[in-house]
Structure formats: C-alpha cells, structure tokens
Amino acid sequence: MRIAIVAEPFVPVPPRQYGGTEQVIYYLIKGLKEAGHEPILLGTGDSTVDCELIPITDKAIYFPATYKDIAAHKRNVARIRQNTHRQLTRLLRRVDIVHSHSFDLKSYQHFPNLTTIHTKFELSELSYYMARRKLYYASISHNQQAAGPFLNYAGVVYNGEDPSDFPLVAEPQDYVCFLGRFDREKNPHLAIQLAINLGIKIKLAGKIDYLGEGYFEEEVAKYFDHPLVEYLGELNFEEKVELLSNARCNLHPTGFREPFGLTVLEAAYCGTPTLAIARGSMPELIEEAKTGMLVEDFVEGFYQIEECFKMDRNYISSRAREKFNYQQMTKDYIRSYRTVLQDFANKKQQKQALKGFGVRAKHQLRLV
C-alpha cells in the first residue's frame, strides 16, 4: 500500500524534544517500511524520516508560549493548512489511502481516509466531529471512543514505540519523576507535593506553552528552591530516556480524560512503574498492582506508592514491550487501512449494482 501520512506543522518528525504524536508517526513510518509498504509524509521540512517527505512548511512552527501570540499563530497555521490541502490534493493519484494525524479530511471523504484522534474530545468540538461522521477514525484507546461513540471507527490502535530504544534498569536511583506538559491538565504540582510529603527527590521535565501560562509560575516554580525538587526543563530523547529509566516511579496525576499517555508506556519499557489517577486510558495502560497503581487522587497515592516501589521491573518491561510496540501498532493500522479500503470497495460495487439495476429497469420500461 501507498499511504499518505499527514502531520501537523507544529513539531518535526521525529520531535527534537517534546512531541508525542510526532514520535508515534516516526515509528509508524518505520513499521510500514519494514512491512513492505510505501508511506509518504506530508510534514515539516525539518523532519528526518526514511520515506518521501513533502514539506507543508519549511520548519516546525511550534506552539506559542503566551496567549498574546495565539492570533498570529492561528494565521500561520491557516496558511500552512492551505498549502497542505494543495499538496495532498496533488498526491491523491499516487496513494491508496490518506492517514491524517489531526489535519481535517472533510474535503477528502470521497477518498479512502483514516484520521487518528490524538487528543481529548471537547464539548465545543462535538459539532465539528458530528459534521465529519462520514470520515473513518482510529482511536488510541477504548476509553477514548466512549467520548465520541457516534464516529465511524475502523479500529482501536494503541500507540507504540521501539522498546529497543529504552534500556531496562533493574536497580533505579532514589527519585521519582514527572514528564509532560506543565499545565492544569497534567497537574505536575500534585506530583511535587506528593514527593515532598514522601520525603523523596523528584525530577521534573517537560514543555511549557500558552496552556500553562500563569499555572507554571503560580503552582510549580515556587517549589524549585526546595531541596527535593529538581527541574530539568524540556528534554531531548536521550535525556528523557535517562530520566524515566532511572526513576523508582513515574508520577502521572492526569486531570483530564487522557486518550493515551505515552510517558506511561515509555517508563514501562524501562521497568519503571507508574502511579496514576485512574482516568481516561490509564486502566488500559496500567495493569493494577503489577505495572503500576491506579488511584482516585494523590492523597490515596501517598499510601499506595510503596506498592510501586516493590514491583517487578522485569515484568513491567516485558509486558510493555510485548503489548505496546511499533510493530503491533503498525499491524493494527494496516488492519484499519484494509477495513477502510474494503468498505470503499463494497460501496463502489453497490453503486455499480444499483446503476446496473437502473439501466435494466429503464430497458424493461421501454419494452412495455
């Protein structure tokens, strides 16, 4: 198959630092190539991928750091999406299916299509999705579908990376970690408060953008003078792996219906358990009391985290490597592609059959 993979203009593939979706796209391209397929990426010009790259913009534009920059950012995004539309329209004759990672495919519902939803559903967006029910979708967890059950799903495809990029560390260092965005959805301040109450060191890393404006200064930065708190900033891939692999536990105090949670998977590759709020996809990613603990809040987490410290890191790693890897993700996407292509073929046959029936009916009427 020839697959047009459409990325957004915010982060290159693979990401230099923070960028979960772009990391997934990178490994999907790798998996498709290994399986003998031909992916073509429409992405930022500074992407580095082992396939044909059609630039939608010269360089990644990233997300704005403050709200005052949003208006200019939106104008830039609109311009780039117009170019994406032009490039994709030209490309259709060369591919079998279009796989979007957030780019709007409403204008391409006549062509085999698949959209992976990487973000949570918002009430304000339901009308947007209702108008696009004829498109085909892949969710990244079963829980995600419950928030948008009216969509036309071609499958559930868990995210996956290459476990060989992550070392198994049987003897971690004496700290816990948080990795993610610094905003009220991810709640890193709760991770800090838990660590301080436990009397254990915490290392924090991640991205700050306009979503965390105000929150970071008010709820997070005030702890940086504490001797148990170490802020690392935004990390590259190697630094991220070092942080996750050497931690005793990964803290995930998610405050929203999170559709996946890539850092939970990455920590597990290394044998690191996760203490998480039991929301969204967390029960699908974490095997309770074996690869992590699911709690209602981090007050309960204060009493449960010791269970994480006792867990078998070899088991945590082996389960993650077997269940969540890029080869399995690729197989599931190929299955979804074939579901879409078969559905299009069936519809074409039905249309031809109806057309033939209409011709025969007109002929019979002429004979009467």
């170019």: which residue's tokens? 83
Q: How far is CA 109 from CA 106, 233, 274, in A?
A: 6, 41, 40
Question: Tell me, what's the pLDDT at 357?
Answer: 57
What pTM, to 2 d.p., does this model score? Answer: 0.94
Residue 296's SS3 state is coil
Cβ atoms 77, 6 nearer than 8 A: no
Question: Tell me, what's the pLDDT at 367?
Answer: 46
Mind listing the domains of the chain with CATH numbers? 2-161+326-351 (3.40.50.2000), 165-323 (3.40.50.2000)
pLDDT tens for 15-52 read 999 889 999 999 999 999 999 999 999 999 999 999 99
Question: Tell me, what's the pLDDT at 355?
Answer: 76
| Cα diameter, the chain | 95
Cβ atoms 158, 328 nearer than 8 A: yes
Which residues in the chain show pLDDT less than 50?
361, 363, 365, 367-368
Q: Give the whole-angstrom CA distance, residue 156 versus residue 367.
A: 53
Residue 66's SS3 state is coil
**Residue 116 neighbours by CB distance under 10 Å:** 22
Question: Tell me, what's the pLDDT at 362?
Answer: 54
Q: Give the whole-angstrom CA distance, residue 147 versus residue 186.
A: 19
